[in-house]
Structure 1
Amino acid sequence: MNVIWTPTAELSYAKELDKINKKWSVNEIMDFMNLVDDFVKKLESGIIEGKVSQKTNLRSFVISKQTTLYFDAFEDTQTIELLLFWNNKDNPKELKEFLNI
């Protein structure tokens, strides 16, 4: 599978790294980056994990207690689009706005 990072995914990933950096240490940043890298590698190999929304058909996967990754999978083109890294403590109404639901 081809994994594509949308601009929103790239920006929200950077924001999550910044939040981790402000609260924790470099070790936690590296741990988070490794969790994301491991999950992306699974996606690239065709292992698609996570919940599927009945409403939007988007998928979500909890990367860590604090962060959920939202993504879309297109079987016909063998493509996965990473959409958003969401801090689970943020306002859920904003999540709906980001995902246009």
Structure 2
Amino acid sequence: MRKIVWNKYARLDYYKNIDYLLENWDETVTQNFVDAVNKIIEVLKKGQFDFQNTNITNIRRVVLTRQITLFYKTEDHSVELLRFWNNYQNPEQMNI
């Protein structure tokens, strides 16, 4: 099993997305997002990294919902979650 490490941007993005969903949608939609994140984290823990490469070395991405993409990088024994990026934002503003 690989260790999952949340960087400060990933943690901030994650909670901002939850806040947004609770304010603008409902608990079911919010729970679906949380469940999608937990499911992907379990896959990453098992060392299954076959998600899409990005143009940045060692950084991959996986679409969690139509609106949110998780960016992460892998190390020898860990996976670092980098951003939970809203797909409607300008990708040039994403600090990875």
Q: TM-score, normalised by structure 2?
A: 0.91
Shift of 1:82: 0.3
TM-score between both structures, scaled by the size of structure 1: 0.86
Could you list the runs of 5+ residues in structure 2 that have no partner in the other structure?
none
- 1:45 Cα deviation after fit: 1.2
> Percent identical across equivalent pairs?
28
1:49–1:61 CA contact under 8 A, matched in 2:
no
SS of the residue aligned with 1:60? strand
1:66 aligns to what?
A: 67
Q: Which runs of 5+ in 1 are unaligned?
A: none
Once the two structures are superposed, the pairs formed by residues 11-26 of structure 1 within 5 Å of their partners are 11-26=12-27
The secondary structure found in structure 2 opposite 1:64 is coil
Check whether the contact 2:51–2:62 (CA below 8 A) recurs between aligned residues.
Answer: yes
Pairs aligned (count):
95
Asked if structure 2 preserves the Cα contact closer than 8 Å seen for 1:50 and 1:62, the reply is no
Distance 2:54 2:21 in 1: 27
Runs (4+) off by over 3 Å: none
